[in-house]
């Protein structure tokens, strides 16, 4: 490149920079005109209604309304020049020198220097991109036309505006972008993820309780733990403030009052858990999540009671609340998120709430003190075979006492308390009467040999006893234009296998992503359709594959051990393994999605129905739970890779062996029916499935 070419390139660059500076200056002038129009519109047509929001707009744009008025009154020469398509230079800028032109002789071949052409093209592209950045926001004026607003007035912040209205226009229409009803785990997680995906979102959380109390859902699974550690980033917090969970353990007895503790059947892991899971105190976890959401920029009303919710789609939603008997507030918003738990405010309001009458289970639970240590020196002296069989801590596992039509959970909590509860199918089991609910729960657990050893000297913590009837429910529709439900507000099935926080993880992440897309200007119609169509499918198939009529065989160690291996093995193959490879992508896909999900669901539903049929045959023959003594099965543990197939194969083998036993029972002389367990009906209310 010769000297003449370099000079020409320098002059061209200066000319391009001049146009860039002018574009910035022109955008600023037009922005001032737009703000004046907004002020006039607010002052003349909505006097006193939107004045506060207009003032916030002026502060955000850093423009004095008086100065804008003076500019307009003096004729706004800069804007007039712009409208006349004249391009005066802004102050403190010098006019570029005229570009020199050098004639080229006719006999000289004109050739373009490739290096010079590439350099000029790069400068031109950068200048155009820079000009677009400073003129990318559009704002409707009072007459409906649009005026360009430069982002340089906003400190060059990249605002994600919702089409066709900008974020500034939305700020004038709504008090908040999103109002979340409920500040526990689901609501706080949704708010936190929304702020991370869309930092400009204005979020209000309304929580009715001044302090969170303890609730069920204290045991996490591999799915919910992946959400909390890999998505929410709570690994350090969970490790310091909660207990590391050591898998799931089931204990079976033959209901003989003389059966010893070490004669009960134990099914569980031999070694420590391969993936992180936790025993959490929900009151502590919920408080921490809410604090994170507030720190991220969410507003909070607490304690506050929702008094009215009006939904009007794209025109906006209205939420009325009282945070004090004498203080009533009303907020407008674009989205309302129902995270109210079992109250399911929007589901009940809109008529979508449906109890699951196919699964009539009830729950009673409490916190206990003085519970014995599963791994104590005393027990090692008394039961050496029991102590030497396991290489991990049984105390930190989720231990289940199993019976016909019922099961009890035993979950340790940080600080020494133990959460224990009973879940039972009202078609099969009835809880014994007693002085109070806590003593009724304790007396029932003492009927199990393991319960007698663990809770013999334990006592119920006062004012910490709870009960729910008709535990499972769902909603036919979980979102609409302007609202969505997450967590337990969308549905709940059964606490066995701890799926509650799994549903919270999927729904809170999906809804947060959907809302962030909507606030960014994307059309959320397809996302809402997917959520409404797939969630009922996920709920239904999850119920049919894992829980439907399961209480009829969960008291038999052989049948339930087969189900445990197949259920958890399928869970690892279908959900856990993909999640640990791509958590951000997989949490946007609800379980049992598409044709592969339905095929897997049919296979799981089939073996579940077969195990129910086998249990009925054993009950008729009087051999149900006959082998609930004298053996234990400790496996290496589930891992999210191909090694899990060994445990699935073991579950299949146990199922097929039960099928062979069933064939022998079919052709053998019918045995005398065994007496029903205490509190169980003498007949089976469901129709018998024929072989």
| Domains delineated in the chain | 3-101+111-168 (no CATH), 174-238+280-352+476-525 (3.50.50.60)
Burial class (CB in 10 A: 0-12, 13-18, 19+), 387: middle
- Distance (Å) of CA 94 to CA 46, 97, 276, 416: 44, 9, 65, 77
Taking the C-alpha atoms of residue 667 and residue 671, their distance in angstroms, rounded to an integer, is 11
- Average pLDDT of adjacent 10-residue blocks, the chain of 691 residues: 63 61 55 52 44 51 44 41 40 39 34 45 49 41 37 36 42 83 96 96 95 81 96 96 94 90 94 92 94 96 94 92 86 96 95 96 94 92 92 93 96 91 96 88 94 93 89 96 96 95 97 96 95 97 97 96 96 95 96 94 97 95 93 90 91 95 82 45 36 30
Distance CA 524, CA 535 (A): 16
- Helix segments in 246-331, DSSP class H: 282-295
CA separation for the pair 166, 146 (Å, rounded) = 10
Query: Phi first, then psi: what are they for 48, rounded to 5°?
Result: 85, -10
pLDDT at 150: 35
∠ CA(569), CA(586), CA(529), 5° rounding? 115
DSSP state of 362: E
Name the token pair of 145: 């036309």
Task: Give how far Cα 476 sits from Cα of 13, 200, 351, 484, 531, Å.
Answer: 62, 32, 9, 12, 11
Q: Are 179 and 191 in contact (CB under 8 A)?
A: no
| Angle between helical axes of 644-667 and 594-621 (0-180°, round to 10) | 40
pLDDT of 506 reads 98
pLDDT at residue number 295: 96
65, 9 contact by CB (below 8 A)? no
Q: Which pair of structure tokens corresponds to residue 274?
A: 């391969």
Residue pair 485/349 in contact (Cβ under 8 Å)? The answer is no
The three-class DSSP label of residue 158 is: coil
Polymer length in residues for the chain: 691
Of 271, 292, 212, 285, nearest to 243 by C-alpha is 285
**Contacts with 191 (C-beta within 8 Å, 6 or more apart), sequence order:** 178, 180, 203, 205, 293, 296, 298, 512
Cis status of the peptide bond prior to 471, with omega within 30 of 0? no
* Span between the terminal Cα atoms of the chain, in Å: 91
Q: Which residue has the tokens 């910035």?
A: 24
Give the bridge partners for 279, in sequence order: 219, 243
Where does residue 333 rank: exposed (0-12), middle (13-18), buried (19+ CB within 10 A)? Answer: buried
């Amino acid at each position: 490149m010769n000297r003449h070419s370099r000079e020409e390139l320098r002059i061209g660059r200066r000319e391009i920079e001049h146009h860039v500076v002018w574009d910035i200056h022109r955008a600023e002038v037009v922005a001032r005109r737009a703000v004046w129009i907004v002020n006039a519109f607010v002052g003349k047509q909505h006097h006193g209604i939107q004045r506060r929001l207009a003032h916030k707009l002026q502060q955000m744009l850093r423009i004095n309304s008086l100065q804008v008025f003076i500019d307009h009154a003096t004729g706004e020469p800069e804007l007039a020049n712009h409208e006349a398509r004249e391009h005066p230079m802004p102050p403190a800028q010098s006019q570029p020198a005229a570009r020199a032109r050098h004639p080229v002789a006719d006999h000289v071949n004109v050739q373009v220097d490739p290096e010079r052409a590439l350099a000029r093209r790069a400068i031109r592209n950068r200048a155009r991109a820079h000009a677009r950045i400073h003129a990318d926001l559009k704002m409707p004026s009072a007459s409906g036309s649009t005026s360009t607003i430069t982002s340089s007035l906003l400190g060059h912040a990249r605002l994600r505006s919702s089409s066709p209205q900008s974020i500034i226009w939305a700020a004038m229409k709504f008090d908040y972008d999103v109002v979340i009803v409920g500040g526990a785990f689901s609501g706080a997680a949704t708010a936190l993820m929304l702020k991370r995906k869309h930092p400009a979102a204005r979020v209000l959380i309304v929580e009715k309780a001044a302090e969170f109390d303890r609730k069920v859902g204290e045991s996490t699974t591999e799915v919910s733990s992946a959400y909390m550690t890999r998505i929410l980033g709570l690994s350090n917090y969970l490790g310091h403030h909660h207990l590391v969970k050591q898998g799931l353990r089931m204990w079976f007895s033959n209901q003989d009052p003389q059966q010893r503790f070490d004669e009960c059947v134990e099914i569980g892991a031999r070694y420590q858990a391969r993936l992180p899971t936790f025993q959490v105190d929900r009151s502590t976890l919920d408080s921490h999540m809410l604090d994170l959401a507030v720190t991220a920029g969410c507003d909070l009303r607490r304690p506050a009671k929702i008094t009215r919710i009006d939904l009007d789609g794209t025109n906006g939603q209205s939420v009325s609340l009282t945070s004090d008997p004498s203080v009533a507030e009303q907020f407008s918003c674009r989205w309302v998120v129902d995270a109210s738990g079992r109250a399911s405010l929007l589901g009940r309001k809109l008529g979508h709430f449906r109890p699951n009458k196919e699964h009539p289970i009830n729950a009673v639970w409490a916190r206990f003190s003085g519970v014995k240590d599963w791994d104590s020196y005393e027990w090692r002296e008394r039961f050496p075979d029991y102590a030497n069989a396991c290489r991990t801590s049984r105390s930190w596992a989720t231990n289940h006492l199993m019976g016909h039509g019922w099961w009890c959970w035993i979950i340790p909590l940080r600080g020494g308390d133990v959460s224990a509860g009973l879940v039972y199918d009202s078609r099969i089991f009835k809880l014994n009467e007693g002085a109070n609910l806590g003593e009724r729960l304790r007396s029932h657990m003492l009927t199990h040999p393991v319960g007698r050893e663990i809770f013999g000297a334990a006592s119920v913590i006062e004012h910490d006893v709870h009960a729910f009837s008709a535990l499972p429910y769902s909603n036919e529709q979980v979102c609409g234009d302007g609202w969505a439900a997450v967590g337990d507000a969308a549905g709940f099935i059964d606490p066995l296998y701890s799926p509650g926080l799994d549903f919270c993880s999927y729904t809170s992440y999906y809804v947060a992503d959907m809302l962030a897309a909507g606030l960014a200007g994307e059309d959320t119609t397809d996302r809402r359709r997917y959520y409404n169509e797939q969630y009922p499918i996920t709920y239904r198939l999850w119920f049919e594959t894992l829980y439907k009529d399961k209480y009829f065989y969960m008291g038999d160690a052989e049948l339930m051990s087969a189900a445990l291996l197949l259920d958890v093995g399928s869970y690892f193959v279908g959900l856990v393994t993909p999640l640990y490879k791509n958590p951000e992508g997989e949490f946007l896909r609800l379980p049992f999605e598409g044709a592969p999900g339905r095929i897997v669901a049919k296979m799981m539903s089939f073996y579940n129905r077969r195990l129910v049929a086998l249990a009925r045959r054993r009950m008729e023959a009087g051999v149900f739970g006959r082998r609930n003594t004298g053996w234990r099965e400790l496996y290496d543990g589930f891992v999210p890779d191909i090694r899990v197939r060994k445990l699935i194969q073991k579950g299949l083998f146990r199922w097929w062996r039960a099928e062979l036993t069933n064939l022998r029972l079919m052709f053998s002389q019918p045995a005398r029916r065994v007496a029903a367990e205490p509190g169980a009906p003498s007949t089976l209310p469901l129709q018998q499935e024929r072989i």
